[in-house]
Structure 1
Amino acid sequence: MGPIVTLLKQRFVFFGLIFVFLPCSMYILISSTDITGEKAAMKRLVKLQLRVEEFSKKYRAKEEEVEILSHHLSLLYDSGKLSAKTRTLLRKRTHRMRVPSTYHFQPHLLRASSLRPAFAISKDRYGVSMALGIPSVKRHVRNYLLTTLRNILNGMSESEKNDTVIIVFVAETRKKVLYSIINKIVEHFEKELNCGLVELVSPPASYYPEMSRLRLTLGDTEERVRWRTKQNLDFAFLMMYAQEKAKFYVHLEDDVIAVPHFVTTMKNVALERIKRKKPWFVLDFCQLGMIGKMFRAADLSWIVQFFFMFHNDQPADWLLQHLINIKSCSYDYTPEQCSKAEQKQWIRYTPSFFQHIGKNSSLKGKIQNLEVNDFGSSGWNANHSKLITV
């Protein structure tokens, strides 16, 4: 009886273990599948949300085209060149209030060629995740553009290059100066231009208003007012050009260097915030000026319109701060409440992904020794898990 009882006990223990562990294993397996499925669903949800923003952006662009036609029609109506019968007909069919648009602040842009690039080298790369915008002009002492481009490209993986477009906006209308800059870029980055990774674009002279008629503001000299006003308009043109090309836009300058693989990390940070439904307007990866500021492409219209309205009043980074303040703060907020509200829209991260290397400004005679202290500390590379919100 002893061996039989022992055998029965062993079988009982064996089946008992199966009875306990099999359901547990199935539960773990099902839970794992549920988690994987949930992650995939969230990823699809984020992509769909970005698609909706993209379609909304295109719809607004079409509305803008209709507004342009309406504005031209109004100018024709006011010119007095139409017959009385035609004027009566138009008045009956178009009798409605007109919403102010960009053209009320920049009427010279109604000229057909004002918003078309005067020069472009492009392979029409669209639908990528990231557009990097680099505005550049002639500098009187030293040009840093080639160094900046080479540093950024050397720090990108092949997958990053395939999902990014780098737009170099050469903000020069003088042909001799323009072609000297373009020829240097073509000479050093022909491969990147041919595959569509790098694009070159420049504005027409008709894009700019009459610069001799600008108001002197902030106690600045006429030369400095022209310089920062033109810079605001340059940034606006670059953002308009980049808006249709990617889901996200990162504003850089032509005198910076970057940590390797910043593109992937910045994209992941943005997607993570979208997935968790955390609000943001600016993701800031450098504490200097406009460098390293990341936006949804769909939100660039806010900035462009704001720059157009106040292009003559303040520098671009100040205008961006004002825009965030308007979007975030109530008039009855205390300074502390306002600061907290702004921090939900303008998310600042450290360490910095970018370092400013330009000592000689594009403003003649201006020296700027501006650097961030936490760039590349201890050989640090772009890493999502090591980012800290300031």
Structure 2
Amino acid sequence: MRILHILNRLSSFGNGIVNLAVDVAIEQKKAGHTVAFLTGPDGGYETMLRSFGVEVFKNMQEQTLANLLPASFKSRQVLREFKPDVVHAHMQTALLLVIPWTKLYGIPMIGHLHNVHDRSAHRMSWADRLITVSASVQQSMLDLGVPATKLRTVLNGTVRSPRVPKISDQVPEPLLRPAILTVAGMSHRKGISELIQAFEIVGAQLSEAHLYLAGIGPEKPLFEQQAADSPMRDRIHFLGFTPNPQRLMISSDVFVLASRRDSFGLVLAEAREAGCAIVASDVDGIPEALDGGEAGILVPAQSPKDLAEAILSLLQDDNLRQEWRRRAGIGLERFTVARMTEEVMDVYREVVRSDINR
């Protein structure tokens, strides 16, 4: 099958949507398909993709009002040249630029909704089929009136990603321990403020504990100021962007994802593969990433007290912590890149067989 993925950018700086799209494309190429990306000028993963035989068209410009129309016509040129059997859009702007031409040429369009918290996320449903990353996201689309016949849920998978070394080959990053780690965008939606508050409770009881925050984002200065004002300021560490966060995960004692809202929590699959004892918010798609709480402790969102209690329970009981590490590793086949890619291919086959737009 000839498959064209479209993204606004191919940045390799910690964007989960880009990471997932790259994983799927490489897995498809390894399975014998002809695969290409249509993307913007940011090279990012371009070298890696080309090394696997995935073609990259950098025809999409930065999305400004002035160049939307030229970018759309350049996209048309790629469709005519590459002649895909299916187009897979991972971002809203990319979909909107290309969908007029897929309709014109009768090419099935797949939308992939990675983040439901964008106010205009429903526009992704203009595609012929919409892949949602969790049952929670699918329900959100149903609530907005998107027909169930258009929706297909494919859980995210990162286990055995071609982008990163095997866990057994990775060298742990040295951390001061006991180490509490989060890997997340530095935003209020990811619950960073609540995590810092929870750590103040933890740190008051465990004088050796340290909190590590890996990630970037426009709200990072706000959290750095919050940490600077905290009595635990000397034990809160901002690490910025980390190209391979699993090196941190295998060194940590507890991994935390304190999100207020989260479509799935892609990083949780990575943490499970690394064998982390996990604490995460009981919101949206996060329970699906943790097998309903079987693979990690779920706590109410926006509750520093509950978050702190769960973290303390793991840090103060070695046997309990080891038990949760063990449980994190059960059922990982459900979160492999190979499983995710095969389910994506099933959606492609469905639309190609149905001759949508033809």
TM-score normalised to structure 2 length: 0.30
Which is helix-richer, 1 or 2?
Answer: 1
Higher relative contact order (CA 8 A, sep 6+): 1
